[in-house]
Structure 1
């Protein structure tokens, strides 16, 4: 446990991590800690941590007892710990599963009371307080692409007492209308598999065309393949209808079609905080195969790869690096492949000298047509100004290629800019301006962006 830390600078973060890791060794193997202290011996510029540890009789988990629930079916809780019974008591894993139960939103608090007999068999009683599972809410906002946003939502986080999460909502924005119904089970058949079902209908007014789509999807995911690894599988089917409001119909591709797809996603996340990361990195990969059923049926494959790293610089600075690429392989040409399934890029999380999804090939009416491959690279320096307010300077580069042209690295679009960020619990609020360094005819010299969330 200590070996990876030997020879490193003995700062507060390293010593805190070392203490936590050694404590975790005992907690995860059934030894209750009665005394756990760390002293420091400093000699000749070398610091040697000395631990004073006293532990009790090793414990096995005998039973999990639930009290205080009225609506929740008790077996939905106890099943979460079934495979731990009879084993050495892993307090780390036990606490991790308790946190997941609280994350459902069905409980406002939980208190654990342990009772151990002389042979080391432990009974854990969970004193649970159920929260207000049902509720309705409204929300509003503004984005540089969506414009004004107003939504209404109803939820039940403990449907039928089975810890299922049900929600339905309606959202109106300057771009259109979205209605959906969602139902999720965090532990399908009492396993670690998550199931999310969705029924939706959406109308959108986009650059050069309008879209109506209604469909269903089912997501299966697991996060127990490794400490930082998540995997998911998504099945989807929808009916789509697109109409031209500027782009010539011949450049829209198939306009009335059924879209059926299978998507596999893999994510590896080592960030210290997924909302406002200050250090670490993440990698994401996805593969999607789809079938388009219209007047001319076709199929396609799509591959996405992205990653980002976050590097502290001094006490107030941070360098963020990001890169992503997507490649689409359709069986048809641009005249048949639907515009709504093509790749688009540009915007507040891409090349910031363009409006959202407006980079790349254009129609004769100067509307974005999308393409089959793109790449984007970003570098930014973030510096704390005061409190939660930060300044940022960035450089973006990228390219989007038309259908049948493949990845193009010869004519990259470049942007440079500055911005202000305010860190909030939901993520940073960002106001940024991107200057177009490779401006072509009919392109803007620069764009302001207002967004919420990390850029990448």
Structure 2
């Protein structure tokens, strides 16, 4: 049976070292010595022959020999991917040769610099024989020619390609010679960024441990003289800037010289002017691009030429967009016309247009019409109009849940959207129908009308509700959103265990309206690491049913997020709600009251369980005011997985205006978060340090999303 080596012949593999020559000339004595060495080394490796492994995909069968357990999964994934890309349906010599070639490249990327892969065809399948050899790891790294204190700074550049490919932080980095060669170039560029414009490096020197598996690396650097910025000043018309940009220029003086930093400042100044409406602004530099500077100082003059102030006069839409998409895009971007050109405003409008769900992609390009006017050229690609999705999971409070959601954007080519949602869980059924006009009457406001039907069963009572909600939303700035809302609901509650005072009025019809203001300065709404969020909502309403009460509800929240470094971060939050009613708490329906305790409040209690309970059972009765304080510290173990410690405090009071620090109840606990695209999957356990009679020691919570 013929054996074939993978194509090597000095071919460069992407991101890898050159493969060794296939047939080095070996004398008979050398060959005998080689076999003797291998025989003596075999016990040291202490590995039995790896079992044959089979990979099958699309009618192609591969048999792998010599693949260790550590390399089985990477090899399998690679070969399945390559078979899929090839599209072949039968085994052939070219396919087998390609697969052996890519498998050998994978081994080299993993640190097996002595690997050899041969292939043969046998009984309709390809057999790949792998001789792995020893896996090598990066050992001691030494830089000569620079201060020893710079070694920790430069080493990440030397091994960057390997670290990026590994994806996580391994205990030991595999040694890949080609990666180190490329990393030496990154080290040199780093020195050049520090003003050592003539920096160079000798070829890396590798010292392999004959008895172990490490490879020590020596990189001799030749920095040369350092070049610094001399005086950096601005000239021209600086009156258009809103800030003292001269300080930014002066800050470069005495810093290491490189054209990247200079170009960054030049573009920043130009972008600053364009954001203020000076679209044709130019900032020129006295430095000649590409001119070689070596040592000493380099003075720089940046000349500012603002040009004319530009205004947007019209919006031009791509004829390929549907009527509904054009209506929405025109309504959104018309607000930018007859105003000065402002990229920040256009960014806000762009986000608002994408939020409608009509567009997969939307491009906004300024088109100059005259010396001071421009049009906005809108092009893009529309999203799939109809979507259907299913979801399910488990939460501690709701138990297992399952649901479906259908949405039709650009309904009947109007630009409006229609959505239907249904969900079932152990606490009840919930269904809704929502219609949304993202640009009502061609304005900047979005109107949403939703009809909701819900059944809810909790402990000793049940409730059925039908509600109509109208919401008018306006995104004032990228960070500030205002909302007006109106609710009309019909509800019926019943219980065979709760008294009428505990349950409150069983039948009630509430008409209410209110407003909400949200300030969101977080870096990411799904996984915030930095920034803050604050909001206030006020709602007033009246019951037109049997209860006949009036109320004003107020909700205030604030949270702050701060990272200490890449691993550690903290978050703190405060929330307060009050329900000022014309009647005492016993005359307020139980579902209108305020509750505390649970996965997003005080986590030493199960959902709603803080506060007074029914006399004959254990149903939480709620109150008319609540307070919640949270502090959380989290640590990233590996990417997407965090462990957190937290402290919570909160209270429930039967009167809206009553609060005393002595009423606070506490939680101390820990949790785990796993990041998903929709937010974190969160498991928390909160311990109750001030238990009262009958209370549990703590509570376990499994849910989605952040606590605050």
Fold shared, TM-score > 0.5 on shorter chain: yes
Give CA deviations for 1:243-300 in whole Å, capped at 9, x if unaligned. 1153233311100111111122122222222221111112111112121233341111
What secondary structure does 1:160 align onto? helix
Match of 2:510 in 1: 259
Tell me, in whole angstroms, the C-alpha distance in 1 between the residues paired with 2:265 and 2:509: 53
Query: Alignment RMSD, CA only?
Result: 3.1
Distance 1:425 1:18 in 2: 37
CA separation of 1:372 and 1:118: change in aligned 2, threshold 3 A: closer
In the alignment, structure 1 segments of 5+ residues that lack a partner are 40-47
CA distance in 1, matches of 2:326, 2:622: 51
- The match for 1:237 among 483, 488, 506 is 488
Does the 8 Å contact 2:445/2:474 carry over to 1?
yes
Select which of 415, 433, 442 maps to 1:190: 442
Structure 1 residues 58, 332: closer, same or farther in 2, change over 3 A? closer
Count of matched residue pairs: 444
Q: Deviations over 1:385-414 (max 9, x none)?
A: 111111100111111112478223213211
CA contact (8 A) 1:389 1:423 kept: yes
Measured in 1, the distance between the counterparts of 2:339 and 2:658 equals: 55
1:277 pairs with 2:528: yes
- Counterpart of 1:72 in 2: which secondary structure? helix
Gaps of 5+ in 2: 1-241, 288-298
Question: Residue 570 of structure 2 corresponds to which residue in structure 1?
Answer: 319
Please say if 1:160 is aligned against 2:412: yes
Task: State the alpha-carbon separation in 2 of the partners of residues 323 and 432 from structure 1.
Answer: 19
For the residues of structure 1 that align with 2:653 and 2:396, how far apart are their CA atoms?
25
Tell me, in whole angstroms, the C-alpha distance in 2 between the residues paired with 1:234 and 1:102. 23
User: C-alpha separation between the residues in 1 aligned to 2:472 and 2:272?
Assistant: 31
Q: Which has the larger displacement, 80-89 or 178-187?
A: 80-89
Q: CA deviation at 1:156?
A: 1.0
Alignment-derived partner of residue 466 in structure 2: 214
Pair 1:69–1:259, CA change in 2 (3 A)? same
Task: Indicate the SS of the match to 1:201.
Answer: strand
Please name the residue that 2:179 is paired with.
Answer: none
Decide which of 378, 403, 419 is 1:126's aligned counterpart.
Answer: 378
The answer to which of 113-122 and 175-184 deviates more is 113-122
Deviation readout 1:191-244 (Å, 9 max, x if unpaired): 1122111111100111321100002011112221x5532221111011100011
> Does the 8 Å CA contact 2:435/2:450 hold for their aligned counterparts?
yes
Give, in whole Å, the separation in 2 of the partners of 1:139 and 1:37: 57
Match of residue 148 from structure 1: 400
- State the partner residue of 1:204: 456
What SS does the corresponding residue of 1:454 show, helix, strand or coil?
coil
1:42-97 Cα distance to aligned partner (Å, 9 max, x none): xxxxxx99867677765443432212113526344223333433444334423432
**1:305 aligned residue:** 556
Instruction: Determine helix, strand or coil for the equivalent of 1:214.
Output: strand
Shift of 1:445: 0.6
Note the C-alpha offset of 1:339: 0.7
Q: Deviations over 1:423-448 (max 9, x none)?
A: 22221221111011111122111111
Does the 8 A contact of 1:198 with 1:217 survive in 2?
yes
Q: In the alignment, is residue 374 of structure 1 matched against residue 623 of structure 2?
A: no
Moved more, 262-271 or 20-29: 20-29
Secondary structure of 1:171 counterpart? strand
SS in 2 for 1:423: strand
Q: Is the 8 A contact 2:579 2:656 kept in 1?
A: no
Distance of 2:386 and 2:302 partners within structure 1: 48
CA–CA distance in structure 2, aligned partners of residues 188 and 221 of structure 1: 10
Q: What corresponds to 1:44 in structure 2?
A: none
Change (3 A) 1:50 1:219: farther
- Which structure has greater helix proportion? 2
Contact 1:222–1:231, Cα closer than 8 Å, also in 2: yes
CA contact under 8 A between 1:260 and 1:291: conserved in structure 2? yes
Q: Quick one: distance in 2 between partners of 1:110 and 1:69?
A: 11
Displacement of 1:368 after TM fit? 0.4
CA distance in 1, matches of 2:431, 2:268: 46
User: Do the aligned residues in 2 keep the contact of 1:30 with 1:59 (CA within 8 Å)?
Assistant: yes
Per-residue deviation, residues 4-61 of structure 1 (Å, max 9, x unmatched): 9969x9999xx9899658614314404146778999xxxxxxxx99867677765443
Contact 2:390 2:404 in 1 (8 A): yes
Q: 1:354 aligns with which of 605, 612, 633?
A: 605
Residues 272 and 279 in structure 1, CA contact (< 8 A), matched pair in contact too: yes
Partner in structure 2 of residue 414 of structure 1:
666
SS of residue matched to 1:135: strand
Partners of 1:265 and 1:5 in 2: how far apart?
Answer: 41
In the TM superposition, what is the alpha-carbon distance from 1:137 to its structure 2 partner?
1.6
CA distance in 1, matches of 2:499, 2:264: 63
Q: Is the 8 A contact 2:585 2:624 kept in 1?
A: no
User: Which structure has the bigger radius of gyration?
Assistant: 2
- Preserved contact between residue 5 and residue 18 of structure 1 (Cα < 8 Å): no
Return the alpha-carbon distance in structure 2 between the equivalents of residues 133 and 373 of structure 1.
44
**Mapped partners of 1:309, 1:17: distance in 2:** 31
- Residues 40-51 of structure 1 aligned to structure 2 (within 5 Å): none
How far apart in 2 are the matches of 1:106 and 1:202? 29
Match of 2:317 in 1: 66
Confirm whether residue 399 of structure 1 aligns to residue 651 of structure 2: yes
Aligned to 1:25: 273
SS in 2 for 1:274: coil
1:435 to 665, 672, 687: 687
Q: Offset of 1:312 from its aligned partner?
A: 1.8
Are 1:89 and 2:341 an aligned pair? yes
Q: 1:171 aligns with which of 423, 431, 442?
A: 423
Contact kept? 2:409, 2:415, Cα under 8 Å:
yes
Moved more, 391-400 or 305-314: 305-314
**Aligned in 2, Cα 1:16/1:223: closer, same or farther, shift over 3 Å?**
farther
Moved more, 278-287 or 339-348: 278-287
Decide whether aligned partners of structure 1 residues 451 and 97 sit closer, same or farther in structure 2, where only a CA change above 3 A counts. Answer: same
